[in-house]
Amino acid sequence: MTFETISRRGILGVFAATAVVAAPVMANAFGILRGAGDIRRIRMYSGRTGESIDTVYWVEGKYIRDALNEINVFMRDWRTGQAIGIDPRTVDIAAASHRLLQTNEPYMMLSGYRSPQTNAMLRSRSSGVARNSLHMTGKAADLRLKSRSVGQMYSAAAACNAGGVGKYSRSNFVHMDCGPVRHWGA
């Protein structure tokens, strides 16, 4: 069977058959991003649109284009409806962090892609919004979990050592991006 002939249903069947794996520890986070598993999955919902996504987007070293397209639409700017290509590395960081947190609860996505207009509007209301935010290039996500604290989410994302991680305790979310490795927040 070639990669091109694998169906979405077949992928989910493979996932179900291989779901029992050793629980990763923080030290293994970078290995998770580097393909330590044959399958990568992301689960999120949007309180803004009411939509949810639960998709396997990587199998045996290859991204699944249809799944990435679904992620692009899901992570669109909900204010304008505009979608762009989300950098898969951001999805990798979120998925690896989620796996380290050992929860089945989907992320609540507060912000994925932001159009320049949306970013300017948010910036005019808050000093915490960067002028050249990585959200505007599809390289960032702001995420929340009910079952895990902001500190736990921050620690898991920081353990990946693969991009920027911001802790926003008062607003109850963590920013994850695939830019340079850096950490901020109290």
Give me 34's structure tokens.
């580097």
User: According to the model, what pLDDT value does residue 13 have?
Assistant: 45
Average pLDDT of the chain is 84
Task: Identify the CATH class of 25-185.
Answer: alpha beta
The span from the CA of 82 to the CA of 13, in Å, is 33
pLDDT in tens, 39-88: 999 999 998 999 999 999 999 899 999 999 999 999 999 999 999 999 99
Q: What is the DSSP annotation of 80-139?
A: T----PPPHHHHHHHHHHHHHTT--SPEEEEES---HHHHHHHHHH-TTS-TT-GGGGT-
Gap between the Cα atoms of 127 and 77, Å rounded: 20
CA distance 173 to 170: 8
CB atoms within 10 A of CB 136: 20
Q: Tens of pLDDT along 14-33?
A: 444 333 333 333 334 445 55
Question: For residue 183, what are the β-bridge partners?
Answer: 165
Tell me the C-alpha distance between 63 and 47, whole Å. Answer: 27
Tokens encoding 82: 């505009």
Per-residue pLDDT tens over the stretch 100-119: 999 999 999 999 999 999 98
Predicted local distance difference test score (pLDDT) of residue 125: 87
Residue 179 has pLDDT above 90, yes or no: yes
